[in-house]
Structure 1
Amino acid sequence: MNQLAYPNLYCPFPSHINKHIDVLERHALEWVLRFNLLANESSYQRFCKSKFFFLAASAYPNCQLEELKIANDWLSWAFIWDDQCDLSNLGRQPDVLKDFHKRFLEILNGAELTSKDIPLAYALSDLRQRILQRGSQEWFHYFVDRYEGYFDGCVQEAVNRAQEITPDVDSYMLIRRLTLGGYVFLALMEFCNYLTIPDSLRNHEVMKELKAMTINILAWCNDIFSVHREMSSGDVHNLALLIYYQQNVSLEEAILTVSEMHDREVHRLKDFESSLPSFGEELDAELAKYISGLHGWISANLIWYSHSGRYQNIDSLELNQ
């Protein structure tokens, strides 16, 4: 597996790095340590090697420092929780997972912390307070709804693991769009880039299609680079692995199939963007900024894999209580 040659994925979009990246790197570690989110030395090393700060600085290259810190900390929180869902026993206990998610949503909606809450809950409360100081209640409600979708996807994966269900490709792709967290971080892009997207545009079929294609691109890219970790941990939630198991092809062929899907989707996104309708001068300007942000995420996500050691580690985890 370690000798697999990963394909060169197509990405025509430029990459940029936020000028605050050095400050962000220091802040990123300080924040997770302040909230005791790293249970032991292994978790500490995993976090440092993952370099989430690089992803944040690449995905949000134009935002100011405080917004960038908030975006980075959301990313760190989500990836740390994602590891718990994928690599700990929680990933096979959907009912327990639901209880955690219920409590997290209560905190995001303003519930007071208690002594029974875990460190991740305290970190979530901190993020809520900081983001509401700089963003609107209306936008935050939209953001929390996206998080609820992410949590639902994690539970669906846990049900599959608990019941030893191997989903078909179509079923998997529906779940994957949620568990990627893409809707969360595209919503966060609005906050970081100071966009004003009214519901009339946000709910338009054009926006839905732009987001769906972008999330497909991000998900399929991730599945290619994480295939070793999922295979080693016995997890079937990876598009390349499902094609490998279900279509009687080699793993190399399965990865190539996913890479071809990825590249076609990038071309489809570009073609779609070239034929967008006009929504009026003001909304067209906001939509252009939004699309630029989508491009930034696609580029940042791909480049990050060459800097990050996240998917080289397959150790199991325990929840930090």
Structure 2
Amino acid sequence: MKNLTIPRLYCPFSSVLNPHTDAVKQHTDQWVIKFGLCFKEDFERYNANNYSAFTARFYPNADYDQLCIASDLVALLFIVDDHIDSQFAESAVEKEFALRQFIEKFMTVINPKIELQTTQQFENPVFIALADVWSRLICISRDEWIRSFVKEIEYIFAAAIWEYQNSFKQLPGVEEYLEKRRYAGAANVSLALIQPIEKNYLPEFAKNHVIIQKLSEAACNAICISNDLFSLSKEQLSGDKHNLPSIIKNEQNVTWEEAVLLTAEIHDTEVNKFIALSKELPSFDEETDQILKRYTNILELQMAGNIAWSESETARYPFTYASVVS
């Protein structure tokens, strides 16, 4: 297959880099080494992926301590995502069983009803590192948020199982895929972390408002769809068909080039939907309205930050933009 190019995506927002970026990267690099999350031969690739810059663009106003927590957790989730296949390289049945066991242990660490007395019970460094960053995260978070966040992690792993099972049957349709994609891509976690990391707690009655839910969904979709385009070349090399261009090509029987353009159109539609919804935000009380205004701005920063990071700050996604014919 010839190399595919992708069109530039519509995103009329600015991105901001947290001023603590360099210091936080040094911290997270040492944290990854301390807990043995990267073997020596993998560290160069980890360093080139530059996950700390990703986090710094998603939470540009966070204090140093808060940003360190987010950076460590995001790096851990990226590392888990990258290594999960190689960790479970058995037969299909054994692989799913091992994956479910991994998820069960992960959820045990973050279960607020279980008090872990020691991490000695874990051999996998992922769980030891998780226990460390989780203990720091709950110290800066509200109890109701912690319970809600555990649910968001459950959604991620449910999507991981769904995605794994899809690899043995017909690919899902576009609608089903998009419904699950924000969980498979952990965009829901990025949104949830806004509250303790940026210290911007949107009240439940506001968060559950239909317009705000649609606003958050549009931002998540835009981030995940752009990621599907940025990572397309990488996933083609690995044979992974679980991305929107592949889903569209399969469902609509179009060429790769057409599938890529249709994917970009869906991304741009989600951004325009976000813009329209941001002009229709409900009004509550003065304090809540200010929190909502800041929340909306952070979503804008995340959409723009994801593109800025993918374009020039990470080696994770090798892609080329299509030339614009004037």
TM > 0.5 between the two? yes
Name the CA distance, whole Å, in 1 between partners of 2:216 and 2:98: 31
Aligned with residue 196 of structure 1, among 201, 209, 222: 201
Name the CA distance, whole Å, in 1 between partners of 2:38 and 2:2: 27
Which residue of structure 2 lines up, in the alignment, with residue 44 of structure 1? 43
Name the CA distance, whole Å, in 1 between partners of 2:85 and 2:2: 20
The count of residues paired between Structure 1 and Structure 2 equals: 311
CA 1:250–1:87 in 2, change beyond 3 Å: closer, same or farther? farther
Aligned with residue 95 of structure 1, among 97, 103, 117: 97
Could you tell me how far 1:231 is from its partner in structure 2? 1.5
Contact 2:13 2:301 in 1 (8 A): yes
Query: Do residues 270 (structure 1) and 275 (structure 2) align?
Result: yes
Alignment-mate amino acid for residue 185 of structure 2: L
Which residue of structure 1 lines up, in the alignment, with residue 316 of structure 2? 310
Name the CA distance, whole Å, in 2 between partners of 1:15 and 1:270: 16
Which residue of structure 1 lines up, in the alignment, with residue 10 of structure 2? 10
Name the CA distance, whole Å, in 1 between partners of 2:82 and 2:169: 19
Contact 1:90 1:96 in 2 (8 A): no
Name the CA distance, whole Å, in 2 between partners of 1:238 and 1:88: 22
Query: Do residues 148 (structure 1) and 154 (structure 2) align?
Result: yes
Q: 3-state SS of the aligned residue for 1:310?
A: coil
Alignment-mate amino acid for residue 107 of structure 1: V
Contact 1:13 1:299 in 2 (8 A): yes
Q: 3-state SS of the aligned residue for 1:210?
A: helix
1:157-236 paired onto structure 2 within 5 Å: 157-161=163-167, 163-236=168-241
Residue identity (%): 32
Provide the TM-score with structure 2 as the length reference. Answer: 0.90
Aligned with residue 132 of structure 2, among 126, 129, 132: 126
Q: 3-state SS of the aligned residue for 2:193?
A: helix
Which residue of structure 2 lines up, in the alignment, with residue 319 of structure 1? none
Contact 2:4 2:233 in 1 (8 A): no
Name the CA distance, whole Å, in 2 between partners of 1:165 and 1:44: 36
Alignment-mate amino acid for residue 57 of structure 2: S
Could you tell me how far 1:259 is from its partner in structure 2? 0.6
- Once the two structures are superposed, residues 105-137 of structure 1 have per-residue CA deviations (whole angstroms, 9 ceiling, x without a partner) of 111124342334410001110111111222222
Which residue of structure 2 lines up, in the alignment, with residue 289 of structure 1? 294
Q: 3-state SS of the aligned residue for 2:107?
A: helix
Contact 1:84 1:90 in 2 (8 A): no
CA RMSD of aligned residues (A): 1.9
Alignment-mate amino acid for residue 64 of structure 1: D
Name the CA distance, whole Å, in 1 between partners of 2:122 and 2:15: 43
Name the CA distance, whole Å, in 2 between partners of 1:197 and 1:95: 38
Could you tell me how far 1:86 is from its partner in structure 2? 5.3
Provide the TM-score with structure 1 as the length reference. Answer: 0.91
Could you tell me how far 1:303 is from its partner in structure 2? 0.6
Could you tell me how far 1:83 is from its partner in structure 2? 1.2
Q: 3-state SS of the aligned residue for 1:7?
A: coil
Name the CA distance, whole Å, in 1 between partners of 2:305 and 2:86: 25
CA 1:303–1:86 in 2, change beyond 3 Å: closer, same or farther? farther
Could you tell me how far 1:53 is from its partner in structure 2? 0.9
CA 1:111–1:164 in 2, change beyond 3 Å: closer, same or farther? farther
- Once the two structures are superposed, residues 190-214 of structure 1 have per-residue CA deviations (whole angstroms, 9 ceiling, x without a partner) of 1111112222122222221111111
CA 1:2–1:62 in 2, change beyond 3 Å: closer, same or farther? farther
Alignment-mate amino acid for residue 21 of structure 1: T
Name the CA distance, whole Å, in 1 between partners of 2:68 and 2:2: 34
Name the CA distance, whole Å, in 2 between partners of 1:88 and 1:160: 19
Contact 1:108 1:144 in 2 (8 A): yes
* More displaced 10-residue stretch of structure 1: 201-210 or 140-149: 201-210
Contact 2:228 2:243 in 1 (8 A): yes
Name the CA distance, whole Å, in 1 between partners of 2:201 and 2:159: 28
Contact 1:74 1:127 in 2 (8 A): yes
> Where does structure 1 lack aligned partners over 5 or more consecutive residues?
314-321
Aligned with residue 106 of structure 1, among 101, 105, 108: 108
> Where does structure 2 lack aligned partners over 5 or more consecutive residues?
320-326
* More displaced 10-residue stretch of structure 1: 88-97 or 194-203: 88-97
